[in-house]
Amino acid sequence: MSADEKQKPVSAVEVAYALELLEIEEQLAALERTAERFRTMNEQTPSPELERRINEITDRAAPIARRRQEIVAARDAALEVTIAPASEVIESTTIDQLGKPQGELSKVQAKIESLRLRSKARTPNHNPVPNIQPELDFLAELDKEKDEAAKADKQERERPKLLPARYTNRDFFVADIFGYSLKDDAATMEAPIYSLMTQKDFSIWRWASKDGSKNVEVSPSALYGRATMHDKDVLIFITSQMTEALNRERPDAQNRAVRFTVHNYLVATNKPTGGVEYKRLETALDRLKGTTIKTTIRTGEKRVKEAFGIIDSWTIVERSPNDERMIAVEIVMSKWLFNAIQAHEVLTLHPDYFRLRKPLERRLYELARKHCGSQSSWKIGLELLREKCGAQSHIRAFRNQIQDIADADTLPEYRMVYSKDTDQVIFYVKDPKKLLAAINSGKSPLSNGR
């Protein structure tokens, strides 16, 4: 190549396109390195999280690659000819070709010159140009940047995988967990705390266990009535979240105050997310706050002697900017419920629990879940079942309700059978393997001769 060809001016457009292409290629190379690292990790220990990250990187790289193609097409159209790759254009560009004195190099020009020098440094036996001190300065600066990048990369590798827990001392628990099991406290599954009525219930309810060791007195709110089985959804949601947090050893699960977003609660309890549900939740919280309990039932080996509300208090911590609808709320649980959760006095509920429409269906499922336990069946007289449900209907009406629910077969996990001859109700598991094993062993009421 002649001296004239070497000194042929380089188009400013050509250099601009080359610089942008180089920057894009660096981004694509960095994304590919990251993706390759995740692929290696995923091959060693397969993980859905790693798969998700690899897909995210692929999605991020796609528009960058399209942008590169657009720039190449625009460059070729502007210059009306396909030119050399971007790296060759940058490395072959000299300060003289740009027509700028060395003392007025811009930041972009300095980058061009440093790339050119780096390219020549890899070529053996090249002749140094006069006054190479500026070039040496550029090389020293490049070495410094390289050292700093290596140091930063080392710190990145050595730092802990998790961020520090910065707010472990906050005085409330955030119910923000996904992928948990439904939990209910064993105490309220045993005693009929909640009303089965769909209208306001202003009656005072008293209940005692058959042996007299446990008793409960429930007094309604003078304004809102007694808390209902559907109001209990709030406490099941909180109990489930806090139990999972305790299993994960989250420090904020040691607080009685619980914060959650109303939308998350509505979704978790299988409710619509329309505006009327926000109002219903507010009314439910009023009933839970106003309903008082006096009981001898211990939770967490602790006895709360005084009368207490099902929840101590509730507060709206965030409202919608467009209306008065509450977005997030904070509830302070009663010590009675909090002690039960902390002591893990809870039982797992079937996910279909929130699909049960009738309050009596929910109460029957609770009793079946509580008393069957690991057994295959549980048998109880109709009158005693009526007391345990807390039903206020006449025994004849209650018998008809039980028969209707048994015929509908809506209870999760359990099937219910009413025997007119003995006036008893039998709950037994739907799992055929467990049921067959119990029948063969003679431990089921459905066994021959029983």
pLDDT over 60 at 370, yes or no: yes
Q: Residue 182 is encoded by which pair of tokens?
A: 């439904």
Instruction: Give the model confidence (pLDDT) of 211-256 as tens digits.
Output: 877 888 999 999 999 999 999 999 999 999 999 999 988 888 899 9
Instruction: Give the model confidence (pLDDT) of 406-423 as tens digits.
Output: 999 999 999 999 999 999
Instruction: Give the model confidence (pLDDT) of 32-65 as tens digits.
Output: 888 887 788 778 777 777 787 788 888 888 888 8
Instruction: Give the model confidence (pLDDT) of 71-105 as tens digits.
Output: 888 777 766 655 555 555 555 554 444 444 444 44
Does the pTM surpass 0.85? The reply is: no
pLDDT over 60 at 126, yes or no: no
Structural domains in the chain? 3-158 (no CATH), 170-349 (no CATH), 358-450 (1.10.10.10)
pLDDT-derived band of residue 123, with 50, 70 and 90 as boundaries? very low
Rounded mean pLDDT of the chain? Answer: 79
What pLDDT is recorded for position 305?
Answer: 60
